[in-house]
């Protein structure tokens, strides 16, 4: 019998957190955050991180586990998430993956295999400078020689992806297209529900705008200032987060504060749109359109009923 896994995701600001607590309590679960930014300490306001008092005693994993100057990536996420899941299962509880980073969810849900090798930072930098100096086409030409298949799916201008494909080839001697091909065939080792919470686009965009204003009132600028005083620079992975890079620009005088906040709103809306695109493409998802439920409670009740297999699983296991 496959082990159960509940996933709750959706675009930013849709209201995942509130639902996740109700679900965790009803299913006797623990929450694993699937969020690339909430892993960082000292970044609370801009990431809309759940507050300890909002957790209502539900255990949360993968929040506040790194300092802002530490690197993070999907392979690490997967490793930590899987470790947390083992702990949760061993306690006889159900893991609930909650967060908006679709890519991360995929890595756990399908147990994608990543190569053993570490990221080769110096090689990446070398390739990036090459692209900058001689043009993106130059890199693309290099990729054509070693991995023509990838050239079908990666656009020449997408330097980041071209670099990764080249890096992968250098490390493994194998084209990444072949690796992707095999990983795409994988079926999930879990018995799962993949919920995507959604909301009318116009309403969501309004909520995003409001939430950014709330962040401003809550002291986002101060939070970023404090991070800069600690030595955080815009090159760090953490400082690529929405709301951070824009405020840094303003604090460094490259933008004015008012405009920076408008950019945050704009870019957050863009982000939400990209998230929709991602989830629409994922197979086996259950869309939870908020407007189709008369209340939050009804939505929660639906999920609880729909997750009956979780209780079944643990009941059988006890026997």
Partner RNA sequence: GGCGACUUAGCCAAGUGGUAAGGCACGGGACUGCAACUCCCUGAGCAUCGGUUCAAAUCCGGUAGUCGCCU
Asked if residues 304 and 298 have their Cβ atoms less than 8 Å apart, the reply is no
In the bound state with RNA, the residue whose beta carbon lies nearer, of 27 and 162, is 162
In the bound state with RNA, the residue whose beta carbon lies nearer, of 27 and 205, is 205
Site residues (CB under 7 A) for RNA, limited to 188-227: 201, 205
Candidate residues 145, 252, 254, 274; the one interacting with RNA per rule CB under 7 A: 274
Stretch binding RNA (CB under 7 A), from 50-58, 71-79, 81-89, 302-310: 71-79
Asked if residues 146 and 166 have their Cβ atoms less than 8 Å apart, the reply is yes
Give the separation between CA 241 and CA 150, rounded to whole angstroms. 28
Site residues (CB under 7 A) for RNA, limited to 11-30: none
Residue 22, phi then psi, degrees to nearest 5? -60, -40
Asked if residues 247 and 221 have their Cβ atoms less than 8 Å apart, the reply is yes
Stretch binding RNA (CB under 7 A), from 59-67, 85-93, 218-226, 273-281: 273-281
In the bound state with RNA, the residue whose beta carbon lies nearer, of 3 and 156, is 156
Sign of the Cα torsion 121, 125, 126, 127 reads: positive
CA neighbor of 120 nearest in space, from 112, 128, 131, 132: 128
Site residues (CB under 7 A) for RNA, limited to 134-163: 153-155, 157-161, 163
Asked if residues 46 and 260 have their Cβ atoms less than 8 Å apart, the reply is no
In the bound state with RNA, the residue whose beta carbon lies nearer, of 91 and 201, is 201
With binding defined as CB under 7 A, does residue 74 bind RNA?
yes
Give the separation between CA 18 and CA 153, rounded to whole angstroms. 38
Instruction: Give the CA distances from residue 150 to residues 11, 54, 145, 154, 175, in Å, rounded to whole numbers and listed in that order.
Output: 29, 45, 11, 6, 8
Give the separation between CA 166 and CA 174, rounded to whole angstroms. 10
Q: Shortest distance, CB of residue 276 to RNA, whole angstroms?
A: 6
Q: Shortest distance, CB of residue 262 to RNA, whole angstroms?
A: 10
Site residues (CB under 7 A) for RNA, limited to 290-309: none
Q: Shortest distance, CB of residue 1 to RNA, whole angstroms?
A: 25
Q: What residue spans of 91-200 are helical by DSSP H?
A: 102-109, 121-134, 136-146, 150-153, 159-172, 176-184
Candidate residues 118, 174, 284, 298; the one interacting with RNA per rule CB under 7 A: 118
Residues that bind RNA (CB under 7 A): 35-38, 46-48, 72-76, 100-104, 106-107, 110, 112, 114-119, 124, 128, 153-155, 157-161, 163-164, 168, 176, 179-180, 183-184, 201, 205, 237, 240-243, 266-267, 269-271, 273-274, 276-278, 280-281
């Amino acid at each position: 019998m496959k082990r159960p896994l509940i996933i709750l995701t959706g675009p930013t600001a849709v209201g995942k957190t509130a639902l996740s607590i109700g679900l965790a309590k009803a299913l006797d679960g623990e929450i694993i955050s699937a969020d690339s930014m909430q892993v960082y300490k000292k970044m609370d306001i801009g990431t809309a991180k759940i507050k300890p008092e909002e957790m209502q005693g539900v255990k949360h994993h993968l929040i506040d586990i790194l300092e802002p100057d530490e690197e993070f990536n999907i392979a690490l996420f997967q490793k930590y998430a899987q470790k947390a899941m083992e702990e949760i299962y061993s306690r006889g509880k159900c893991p609930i993956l909650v967060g908006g980073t679709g890519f991360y969810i995929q890595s756990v849900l399908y147990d994608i295999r990543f190569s053993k090798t570490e990221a080769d930072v110096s090689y990446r930098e070398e390739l990036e400078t090459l692209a900058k100096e001689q043009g993106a086409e130059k890199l693309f030409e290099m990729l054509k020689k070693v991995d023509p298949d990838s050239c079908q799916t990666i656009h020449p201008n997408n330097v980041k992806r071209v670099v990764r494909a080249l890096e992968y080839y250098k490390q493994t001697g194998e084209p990444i297209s072949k690796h992707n091909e095999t990983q795409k065939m994988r079926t999930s080792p879990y018995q799962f529900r993949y919920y995507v919470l959604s909301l009318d686009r116009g309403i969501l965009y309004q909520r995003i705008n409001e939430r950014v204003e709330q962040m401003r009132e809550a002291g986002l600028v101060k939070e970023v200032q404090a991070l800069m005083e600690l030595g955080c620079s815009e090159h760090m992975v953490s400082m690529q987060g929405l709301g951070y890079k824009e405020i840094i620009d303003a604090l460094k005088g490259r933008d004015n504060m008012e405009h920076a906040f408008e950019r945050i709103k704009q870019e957050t809306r863009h982000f939400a749109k990209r998230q929709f695109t991602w989830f629409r493409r994922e197979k086996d998802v259950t869309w939870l359109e908020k407007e189709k439920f008369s209340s939050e409670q009804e939505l929660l009740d639906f999920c609880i009923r729909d997750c009956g297999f979780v209780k079944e699983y643990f009941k059988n296991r006890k026997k």
